[in-house]
Every structure is written in C-alpha cells, then in structure tokens.
Structure 1
C-alpha cells in the first residue's frame, strides 16, 4: 500500500508541476524552463545527498546513468517539439501508450510483469486517460493514431512514450545500484549539464528570464523534486509498470483543475467518463 501511495503522490506532484509549468511557459522559453527546473531540483537535493552520504559507483550504475540521462534529454527535446508542432489533443493521448510499451520492456530489462489483476488496472487507466483526452466526436476517436502517418508532432510524442517505457526501467536499475535520492540527484544533475550548451545556443537572455520568474520557476522545480523522490521510492516497493501507470494518471488532476479553475468545459463528458475509469483502475492496482 505504501508503494501505491508514493506512486499516487508522484501523480499529484506531476500534475502540480505541469500546471505551474503551463503558466511559466507564457513568460519563459522551454529551454530556460527545463534548465531552471533541473537546477532547482539539483540544489534541493545537494544537502540531502550530503547528509545521506555518497554511494559506491559501480560500472552498471555508470552505464545506466549515461543511457538514462541521454534518453531523458532526448525526451525533453522531442516533447517540446511535439507540443510546438501539433495540437495537444492530437499528441497528448499518445503518452498513455507508455504503460503498454512497458509490458514489453519491463520483463526484458528488469524481469517484472504484473499479475492478471494488476494488468487489468493498467489497461483501464490507459483507456481512461486516453478517453479523457480525445474529442467527443466518435469519428475522431482514433485520430491520434491516424495522425502518426501525417503529423510530425504525433510521431515525436509516440517516440516520447516509447523512450519513457525504457527510462522508467533504467530508473529501477539506478535505484537498485545506489539509492532513490542519490540516483535522482545524479541523473538530473547530469541532464542539467547537458542543458547548459543547449540553453546558450537556443535561449535568449535566459538569466533575465529566470530572474523575472524566479518564484514560479522555483515552484516547478520543487514539485518536480517531490515527484521524482516519490517516484524513486515507489520503484523500490511495487512493479515499474504500476508506478508509471499511476504516474500518468496525473492527467486526471490536470483535467479537474482546468474544469474548476480555468473554466475549460470542452469534452466534459469524455473527461468524466475517463476519470471514472481511471479511478476504477487505480483501485484495482491498489488491491492487486
């Protein structure tokens, strides 16, 4: 049950991070936002790593760190390209494919596969999240998949979903080799270093952008930190596909926030149906 609660905490933190990020991206570019988020997380985790102590760095850990950080950097760039080039309603549902991909990658990489009850919960959450993010027009129910052949942004997001199914398992390996806190710090600090030349190349006056939005950017980094820590500790307790499936249900909280605070009433019926299916899926995973 603790693993489920931690995974659920990850979903809540992810939703808060995405909501605050949405507001920030009206004022800063995506490269500055990504850099600031990883900078805040690294600064928050430095004292924690100092007091908990350094870990022995095995060869397996170093290879996992290299692979995970490079793949995560690729995800960041692909994700922003997908959002920029296509409508969110077309690209966002494709993220729900990550838990399904993990039914293939997790057995291969970490030897984990959910039981029948857990598998049912995963499928229900995937379906619920997908339904929540599509049009109420029955003719457009498969539009995200149809768009793969003609929409570059949709192909980028499809790639994001697949890469996430790999990096989640790498996180499991990294946590097993060291500890949740140390792995979270080293991975995101490495990504921060990668982002420095990209920031210099792509962003205009990033330091001024950060200074003008230091408070809101700090909150994004704070929620990112709580999300990552809950995620890493959850990986120690329950199967990777469970953690990622529950994490992706963060879309439920974003939908509710948009409805109550942003007055976004579009596709309300589908969203409520999707949320209901999600809750059933979460309950099934909790008792599996």
Structure 2
C-alpha cells in the first residue's frame, strides 16, 4: 500500500502540473489517449478476438469510457484548483460507495469490518479537510 500511495502522489503531482500548463480537459484527453496507445500492443498480442469483444460490448464500453472521462476531468480540475493532497483525499470518499456496492451487488462478507476501515479513512479525510 505504501508503494501505491507513493505512485498515487507522483501521478497526482503530474496531474497538477498538466492541469496548470494546459486545460484540465485537454490534459485528461491527452493522458487517456496516450495510455490507450501504449496499451494497444498488449491488447493485440494477448486478446486475439478483441474485435469481436469490442463489437459485442461497444455500448457498455462507451458508457464506461464516458463516465471515466467525466471522472478524470473532475479530478484534474479539482487538483488544479486546490492542494493536490486534499483533492485526492476527498476523491477517496468513493471508497464508501465501493464498500456499499460490494455488499449490495456482490454480497461480500465481513461488511462491518470493511465499513469500519472505510470510516477510519473518511475520518482522516475530514481531519485533513477541516484542519
């Protein structure tokens, strides 16, 4: 988790630089375009029937991609307008929704433990935000 946190801090700092030197919309689009280009060779090698999968799931992929684009645009806009660490901390409140959906949709067990851990993280977010 420490490695993930360090990588998250690094990429958030890069997001802030990108948002300041460009517009959040252009930076977000360029970032995901470059990511898609870098992933294309991997898809071509490891997924021989990717065209069929794309045709079959096209509407779902468009919806998912659109929602992720709005998410990234909001994230880069927020990072550009405030302290990057605070923006990331507030963004992590989606963790509660993830735990809730895990319980409702996937019927995950030990939900009390998961919500307790999530509540501790949200408490830390509140302490960061209001201090």
Matched, 1:247 2:91: yes
Q: Give 4+ residue runs of structure 1 displaced > 6 Å after superposition.
A: none
State the distance in 1 between where 2:10 and 2:67 align: 23
| 1:230 positional shift | 0.7
| Larger relative contact order (Cα-Cα within 8 Å, sequence gap ≥ 6) | 1
- 2:24/2:76 contact within 8 Å kept: yes
Match of 2:73 in 1: 229
Matched, 1:176 2:5: no
State the distance in 2 between where 1:171 and 1:263 align: 35
Going from structure 1 to structure 2, the CA distance change for 1:274 and 1:195 (only over 3 Å counts) comes to: same
Deviation sequence 1:28-61 (CA, Å, 0-9, x none): xxxxxxxxxxxxxxxxxxxxxxxxxxxxxxxxxx
- 2:28/2:76 contact within 8 Å kept: yes
Deviation sequence 1:129-179 (CA, Å, 0-9, x none): xxxxxxxxxxxxxxxxxxxxxxxxxxxxx3x44322211101111111111
TM-score if structure 1 supplies the norm length?
0.42
State the distance in 2 between where 1:213 and 1:170 align: 32
Name which of 97, 110, 114 aligns with 1:271. 114
State the distance in 2 between where 1:188 and 1:287 align: 33
Match of 1:283 in 2: 126
Listed as ranges, the matches of 1:1-288 within 5 Å are 94=1, 97=2, 158=3, 160-264=4-108, 266-288=109-131
State the distance in 1 between where 2:88 and 2:105 align: 27
Greater helix percent: which structure?
2
Deviation sequence 1:212-237 (CA, Å, 0-9, x none): 11122222212211110110110122
Paired residue secondary structure (1:204): coil
Number of residue equivalences: 131
TM-score if structure 2 supplies the norm length?
0.86
| 1:283 positional shift | 3.0
- 2:86/2:129 contact within 8 Å kept: no
State the distance in 2 between where 1:200 and 1:281 align: 43
Going from structure 1 to structure 2, the CA distance change for 1:280 and 1:163 (only over 3 Å counts) comes to: closer
